[in-house]
Homo-oligomer: A and B are copies of this chain.
Amino acid sequence: MTTGAAPQREYTIEEFVLHTEPYYLPLGDEVELFEAAYQQHLPVLLKGPTGCGKTRFIEHMAWRLGRPLTVVKSSDAGASDGTSMPLVTIACHEDLTASDLVGRYLLEPEGTRWMDGPLTRAVKAGAICYLDEVVEARKDTTVLIHPLTDHRRILPVDKLGQVLVAHDQFLLVISYNPGYQSAVKDLKHSTRQRFVALEFTYPGLEAEAAIVERESGCDSETAMALARLGEKIRHLRDHGLQEGVSTRLLIYAGKMIAQGIPARRACEVAVVWALTDDQEVQRSTQEVVFSIFE
């Protein structure tokens, strides 16, 4: 129940809460907008590129919206002075079935036993349920969330012959990366017109440097250089690079440098080779690295 205590390593899905505030640097009014949506029971859609901080944002909001729980005080819990709301994250993919979300019967010595799926657990416990990369999900999954995302706020559990009314604190949040969307994989309007939408992008230069420094443990000069690297590489996107470099990869480079790897080599393995297999694109990315880390 507490992530601070090292020995405990297994948690019930709906009891998995954070005990220290997740670092998140707001880039605009996204925190206020999310809070307003939450108060009004409006489901939220997060759009944005890979590694720009959507997962961190939702963890941060779960923390902000957290209410006092019966906390097991852990002596080594650091700056923690409370817990987050329970946050149930589900990474969507094309083989995720409705049963994976809602639940299934297990065979037990006394016959079958019903096992709630993560969505059902979130609906009952009043958690934030976060469906990551929702456009990857199959139709039966997207349709399943319809009655949870309009005025009904119900979840039919057909295999139990039941209808569940969602806990008052429950909220559904979904995300995807619009840069990817092909024509075949898109949210249907009957799905997307059920969500208030927030658009995310990479942070600005100063903000990204601050994030890289804090997360990687490198010095502030290196962090600023890496942020500049990120900005420049993102401008290469028209030159064959499918997607800009994520803040996460810049943090990786910072960590390698902090570990003693020379900056140019660190950027090669954490940025250049990580981004692409195309030798041409690797060469232009390399040049950007060399222009910054001389």
Contact = CB atoms under 8 A, between A and B. Distances in A.
A199 B42 contact: no
Contact of A178 (B29, B55, B107, B277): B277
A105 B45 CA distance: 34
Nearest to A248: B193
A197 B274 contact: yes
Contacts of A196: 252, 256, 269-270, 274
Nearest to A247: B193
A150 interface: yes
Interface string A1-42: 001000001111100100000000000010011001101101
Given A109-B111, A139-B93, A189-B243, A164 B10 contact: yes
A242 interface: yes
Given A33-B265, A42-B255, A94-B139, A161 B115 contact: yes
Interface in A172-205: 177-178, 180-181, 188-190, 192-199
A105 B159 CA distance: 10
B245 A144 contact: no
B197 A273 contact: yes
A259 interface: yes
B277 A190 contact: no
Interface string A153-167: 000101101111101
A207 interface: no
B100 A97 contact: no
Interface of A: 3, 9-13, 16, 29, 32-33, 36-37, 39-40, 42, 45, 47, 50-51, 55-56, 89-98, 100, 104-112, 115-118, 121, 124, 132-133, 136, 138-140, 142-144, 146-147, 150-152, 156, 158-159, 161-165, 167, 177-178, 180-181, 188-190, 192-199, 215, 242-243, 245-246, 248-249, 252, 255-256, 258-261, 265, 269-270, 273-275, 277
A248 B194 contact: yes
Nearest to A59: B152
Contact of A245 (B140, B181, B193, B248): B193
A256 B147 contact: no
A88 B228 CA distance: 39
B9 A164 contact: yes
A167 B115 CA distance: 27
A24 B199 CA distance: 33
Of the candidates A29, A112, A117, A180, the one having the most CB atoms from chain B within 10 angstroms of its own CB is A112
The 3 A-B pairs of least Cβ separation, nearest first, read A197-B273, A109-B111, A178-B277
